[in-house]
């Protein structure tokens, strides 16, 4: 939703889909870049103090202008008032936070939800109504029930299903086009809680999962403005990547876990869980609003004989590798101590490698702090083992992770192409402990000690080797 033209293009996708005669729920994202901008504005105001004036002037101006461009005169007044009311309330929240000198997660989420998707969805609804569509807006905070965690909420399918089974479902099956904002819901205390980045995808598959008992079959179409489907690599990293026509759920899930940002990681989870013995899981279509007739990418559980054995190459930059070694590492419980300490600080482990001897453990994950702080933490957790000389090394360092995704990685010939891509002009990888390799049924992870530019070159080399470019 970058501009009025993008909104109108998205509306035309909805209008064209109505010809199929299926029940339609539309999940709307915020303006392009708006959520990140709001987050910066809040943080800056709280850090440097509220100096008066309209902190959210850009947000207000853009939405007022959008209303003037895409909404019929008779529907504008209420929307303009909604913008002004939200801006006034949001300004009061940041002023209070600035006085306290600290962020309030509750008000932070309220601002990001209300000034993003919370404004775009009713504007989009009004535009559809002006196009002759029988559209109705539903506030996501009154539809999706979450676990109440601010900033990284998880939806409750059972509670959401209970909430939608009457009025919402009657409207949906009765021919209305329902519209709601993505990215947020509300806990049982009614406070808005946002999902993480890309949360509109999660909203879409959450609603599909919650609605699944009421329909024989559900599909979710994720229309993106910047890509026409899942790419074989990030076009900012690899030259000439191609659109992947088909992926299995496990492959798509592996891609999101290894740095792919096209789909929210938890969106795949809910698509799969919506299936049962009576109905199939949710098929996901990733397409483009700029070219809605293009085939894009289909994500389901049906293997196809013409699928490429490798689907995509991804990278995770600026991760931290934690290596723990010692002759006592094979004792039960040491690994769980380390992983529990990391998980207890909200860190998600992206890479795990442990040799059969169990004398070492190598982990990688996103960590914003200093490596020395991480080493200190682990040494405190393993104080008894270090004192007993069971552990003789705890080392943290900045690394990158290259992910190779595809069900064909179990084929030695396919895996050989990955290795061949690493055997190019990369003398750094010939050094001892220069990389770690771990593979599963649908992905391989390569942890490498390379600077960012060389990491990009390695991704390009592996992409060329695997896809024969």
| pLDDT, tens digit (0-9, with 9 covering 90-100), for 163-186 | 999 999 999 999 999 999 999 999
By CB neighbour count within 10 A (0-12 exposed, 13-18 middle, 19+ buried), where does 229 fall? buried
| 262 located within any domain | no
- CATH number, domain at 169? 3.40.1160.10
State which of 162, 182, 215 marks the end of a domain. Answer: 215
Say yes or no: 61 and 171 in one domain.
yes
Banded pLDDT at 446 (limits 50, 70, 90) = confident
Mean pLDDT over 243-255 rounds to 94
Q: Where are the alpha helices (DSSP H) in 326-451?
A: 334-343, 371-381, 383-387, 412-422
Say yes or no: 190 and 45 in one domain.
yes
CA dihedral over 107, 108, 113, 119, signed as positive or negative: positive
Residues 6+ apart with CB under 8 A from 345: 377
Q: List pLDDT tens digits, range 118-167.
A: 999 999 999 999 999 999 999 999 999 999 999 999 999 999 999 999 99
Banded pLDDT at 227 (limits 50, 70, 90) = confident
Task: Output the six-digit token pair for 14.
Answer: 């909805």
For Cα atoms 190, 196, 202, give the angle at the middle one, nearest 5 degrees.
80
Note the maximum CA span of the chain: 77
- Confidence (pLDDT) at 462: 94
| 295 located within any domain | no
CA dihedral over 153, 157, 160, 162, signed as positive or negative: negative
- Confidence (pLDDT) at 52: 80
Q: What is the pTM for the complete model shown?
A: 0.88
Q: Which comes out higher in pLDDT, residue 311 or 288?
A: 311
State which of 215, 241, 267 marks the end of a domain. Answer: 215
- Confidence (pLDDT) at 140: 97
Instruction: Identify the domain containing residue 63 by its residue range.
Output: 4-215
Distance (Å, rounded) from C-alpha 187 to C-alpha 145?
6
**How many domains are contained in the chain?**
2
Q: Are strands 177-181 and 135-137 parallel, antiparallel or unpaired?
A: parallel
Say yes or no: 211 and 344 in one domain.
no
Q: List pLDDT tens digits, range 336-382.
A: 888 888 888 878 787 888 887 888 888 888 888 899 999 999 999 99
| 105 located within any domain | yes
DSSP code per residue over 112-155: HHHTTHHHHHHHHHHHHHHTT--EEE--GGGT-BB---SSS--B
| 52 located within any domain | yes
- Confidence (pLDDT) at 376: 92
- Confidence (pLDDT) at 469: 64
- Confidence (pLDDT) at 198: 80
- Confidence (pLDDT) at 429: 86
State which of 160, 184, 215 marks the end of a domain. Answer: 215
Beta bridge partners of 146: 155
Q: What is the chain's percent helix, strand, coil content, to nearest 5?
A: 45, 20, 35
Say yes or no: 208 and 338 in one domain.
no
231 neighbors 249 (Cβ within 8 angstroms) = no
DSSP code per residue over 210-264: HHGGG-S--EEEEEESS-SS-BSS-TTTSSS--B--EEEHHHHHHHHHTT--SS-
DSSP code per residue over 19-46: GG---EEEEE--STTHHHHHHHHHHHHH
458 neighbors 410 (Cβ within 8 angstroms) = no
Q: Is 351 helix (H, G, I), strand (E, B) or coil?
A: strand
Say yes or no: 72 and 205 in one domain.
yes
Say yes or no: 209 and 318 in one domain.
no
By CB neighbour count within 10 A (0-12 exposed, 13-18 middle, 19+ buried), where does 424 fall? middle
Q: Which helix (H) or strand (E) holds 202?
A: helix 199-211
Reported in sequence order, the residue ranges of 291-421 that DSSP labels E, i.e. its strands, are: 297-300, 312-325, 349-353, 360-365, 393-405
- Confidence (pLDDT) at 134: 96
- CATH number, domain at 382? 3.30.2130.10
Say yes or no: 8 and 145 in one domain.
yes
> Position of tokens 């999940």?
27
Half-sphere exposure of 158 (CA within 13 A, CB side): 1
Mean pLDDT over 234-257 rounds to 92
Say yes or no: 203 and 339 in one domain.
no
Say yes or no: 339 and 192 in one domain.
no
Task: Output the six-digit token pair for 163.
Answer: 């909430």
| 94 located within any domain | yes
* Percent with pLDDT over 70 in the chain: 100
- Confidence (pLDDT) at 310: 95
Q: Across all residues in the chain, what is the average pLDDT?
A: 91
Q: Is the pLDDT of residue 293 over 90?
A: no
- Confidence (pLDDT) at 339: 87
């Amino acid at each position: 939703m970058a501009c009025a033209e993008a909104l109108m293009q998205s509306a035309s996708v909805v209008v064209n889909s109505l010809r199929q005669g299926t029940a339609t729920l539309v999940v709307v994202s915020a303006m392009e870049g708006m959520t990140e901008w709001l987050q910066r504005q809040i943080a800056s105001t709280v850090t440097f103090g509220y100096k008066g004036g309209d902190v959210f002037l850009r947000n207000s101006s853009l939405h007022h202008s959008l209303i003037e461009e895409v909404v019929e005169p008779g529907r504008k007044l209420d929307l303009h008032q909604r913008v002004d009311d939200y801006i006034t309330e949001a300004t009061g929240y940041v002023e209070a936070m600035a006085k306290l000198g600290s962020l309030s997660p509750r008000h932070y989420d309220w601002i990001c939800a209300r000034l993003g998707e919370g404004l775009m969805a009713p504007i989009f609804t009004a535009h559809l109504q002006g196009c002759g569509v029988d559209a109705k807006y539903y506030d996501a905070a009154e539809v999706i029930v979450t676990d109440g965690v601010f900033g990284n909420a998880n939806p409750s399918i059972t509670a959401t299903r209970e909430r939608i089974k009457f009025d919402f479902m009657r409207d949906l099956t009765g021919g209305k086009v329902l519209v709601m904002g993505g990215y947020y819901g509300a806990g049982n205390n009614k406070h808005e809680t946002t999902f993480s980045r890309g949360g509109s995808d999660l909203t879409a598959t959450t609603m599909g999962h919650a609605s699944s008992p009421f329909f024989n079959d559900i599909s979710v179409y994720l229309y993106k403005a910047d890509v026409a489907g899942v790419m074989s690599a990030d076009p900012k990293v690899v030259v000439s990547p191609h659109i992947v026509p088909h992926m299995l759920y496990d492959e798509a899930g592996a891609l999101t876990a290894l740095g792919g940002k096209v789909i929210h990681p938890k969106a795949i989870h809910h698509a799969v869980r919506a299936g049962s013995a009576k109905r199939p899981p949710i098929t996901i279509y990733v397409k483009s609003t700029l070219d809605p007739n293009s085939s894009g990418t289909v994500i389901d559980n049906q293997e196809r004989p013409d699928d490429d054995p490798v689907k995509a190459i991804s990278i995770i930059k600026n991760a931290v590798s934690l290596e723990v070694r010692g002759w006592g590492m094979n004792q039960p419980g040491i690994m769980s101590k380390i992983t529990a300490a990391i998980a207890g600080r909200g860190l998600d482990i992206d890479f795990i490698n442990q040799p059969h001897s169990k004398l070492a453990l190598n982990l990688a994950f996103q960590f914003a702090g200093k490596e020395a702080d991480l080493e200190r933490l682990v040494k405190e957790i393993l104080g008894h083992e270090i004192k007993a000389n069971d552990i003789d090394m705890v080392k943290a360092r900045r690394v990158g992770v290259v992910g190779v995704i595809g069900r064909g990685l179990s084929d030695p010939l396919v895996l050989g192409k990955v290795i061949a891509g690493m055997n190019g002009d990369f003398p750094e990888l010939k050094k001892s402990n220069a990389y770690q390799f771990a593979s599963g049924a649908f992905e391989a992870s390569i942890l490498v000690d390379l600077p960012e530019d060389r990491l990009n070159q390695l991704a390009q080399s592996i992409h060329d080797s695997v896809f024969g470019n």
